[in-house]
Amino acid sequence: MSEEERSFRAPRGTYDLLPPASAEWQSILRLAMDVFAKAGYQPVETPIFEHTEVFERGVGEASEVVGKQMYTFIDRGDRSLTLRPEGTAPVVRAILEHNLHRGALPVKLAYAGPMFRQERPQKGRYRQFWQVGIEGVGVDAPALDAEVIEVGKRFLAMAGVETELLLNSIGHLDASCRLGYLDALRDFLHARTADLAEDDRERVNTNPLRTFDSKERATVAVMKDAPVITDHLCDDCATHFEGVRSLLDDIGVAYTLEPRLVRGLDYYMRTAFEFVAGGLGSQNAVGGGGRYDGLAESLGGDALPGIGFALGVDRILIARGDDHVTPSPLDVYVVAVGDEAARTAFRVVTELRSAGIGADLDLARRSMKGQMKQASASGARWAAILGDREIASGKITLKDLTSSDQKEIDIKEIVPAVRS
RNA sequence: GCGGCCGUAGCUCAGCCAGGUAGAGCACCCGGUUGUGGUCCGGGAUGUCGCGGGUUCAAGUCCCGUCGGUCGCCCCA
């Protein structure tokens, strides 16, 4: 039987989240949604698949993500559907569909969920990966940009990830701004094509901004002298960017201006930012975001500015290292010696659980030593021991596993005794 | 999608170069006299050596293919 035919293997680029990492993963999601909610970003859930046009029109057909990486399929009703490769376009689609933008602005939403892209898997790069993110829609004030960025930065710090914030403005699509800059950049590149690395020459026409990302030495040398977007912003975009920066300065959010920062999705404009961290190999971004003032319109809706970010949960987990301990949800481990005691233990555990106390017991008929070992490994603070003596007297022995102190208490007192 | 490296017990890995019937540490289970964990000591279970094919009397070891992982490119979270 070939490996391919074995059914008990996760598909390429996917993985199973198992204890104890799964608990850590869940606590990150909880922390994220909590931090976001406390900044006014309320949870939203959108479908895992969308009409393919949502991404083609929203993210842009020219982008690598839409062009080569989407899981697109035709369903039995002959519709073209796509497993979402990112979260922003679906959220904006939902806002438009339900007219949330007719209410108070900005609409502030937060999401967490799996995204799908068919890329070659690598550390920190999976075909199904989890993102958490927020979107602030309906307002183009710099304060919204600064708020979104600060929330992201603070959440990452609370999650234990040291990140550097890279910040840029990529202007807007007008001859007075980014288009004019692109012309200047193209002129510059055309004059220097011969000096570029061979692999990069084609990009001059397809996606000139991407030449900034090249790691080819020849290209990097050329790009040092290339014109930079921030020198070509129109007055409005320059003022906006200035506003964002001064607000970030006010609230003490440190950032590095990175005039060569480009984002991969077509809808981005003006503010663009990225959170980078070490330990991720060639995937050094734990997340990023930016302003997408044209997105709602390209989906066919009203003009609606917006800004948001997405953070990779898988990458956060990798970047924060593995010295994080999630506290055990168990408070008591009930140890039973003998059949009669085992029956009583089962009742006691149920009673504890009903009272909201974390409780567990041995179900594999282990020896007492084995059960004590389980108690210790479970992370519970208390071992509650039941044997012939206790059964006869209606008592239970409560042992504090951290101090090793123990005492006999009335079995009816167990709940208050372990409630802390 | 392209190139390099790797794939042996639940985990981390040795064994492969110079083919001869599978190992260590950790984890797991039992025990160290009659009811006490985390330390120590003794014992035990566990592998289609990723998968398929080839060479050979003999393949975990050599060759080819394939799947998967990983690193770099690309792209991005």
pLDDT at A193: 82
pLDDT-based confidence at residue A4 (cuts at 50, 70, 90): very low
- Protein-nucleic contacts, chain A 134-193 to strand B, CB < 7 Å: none
- Judged by DSSP in three states, A373 sits in helix
pLDDT-based confidence at residue A107 (cuts at 50, 70, 90): very high
Q: How far is the CA of A340 from the C1' of B37 (A)?
A: 23
Instruction: Report the C-alpha gap between A226 and A218 in whole angstroms.
Output: 13
The whole-chain average pLDDT of chain A stands at 89
> Which residue pairs, CB below 8 angstroms and at least 24 apart, start in A389-396?
A390/A341, A391/A338, A391/A340, A391/A341, A391/A344, A396/A348
Q: How far is the CA of A119 from the C1' of B16 (A)?
A: 33
Nucleotide at minimal C1' distance from the A373 CA: B37
* A81 contacts A72 by C-beta, under 8 angstroms: yes
Nucleic strand B near CB of residue A7 (< 7 Å): no
* pTM for the whole structure: 0.90
Under 8 Å CB-to-CB from A134, ≥6 apart: which residues? Answer: A36, A39, A41, A108, A109, A110, A111, A148, A151, A152, A308, A309
Phi and psi (nearest 5°) for A388? -55, -45
pLDDT at A5: 43
- Protein-nucleic contacts, chain A 326-355 to strand B, CB < 7 Å: 337
pLDDT tens across A13-46, in order? 888 888 888 888 999 999 999 999 999 999 999 9
Amino acid symbol at A47: P
> Percentage of residues in chain A with pLDDT exceeding 70?
96
* A296 contacts A303 by C-beta, under 8 angstroms: yes
> In which element (H, E) is residue A118 found?
none
Q: How far is the CA of A372 from the C1' of B39 (A)?
A: 15
Which of A255, A248, A230 is closest to A166 using CA atoms? A255
- Protein-nucleic contacts, chain A 285-314 to strand B, CB < 7 Å: 285-288, 310-312, 314
ipTM for the whole predicted complex goes beyond 0.90 = no
Nucleic strand B near CB of residue A406 (< 7 Å): yes
Nucleic strand B near CB of residue A263 (< 7 Å): yes
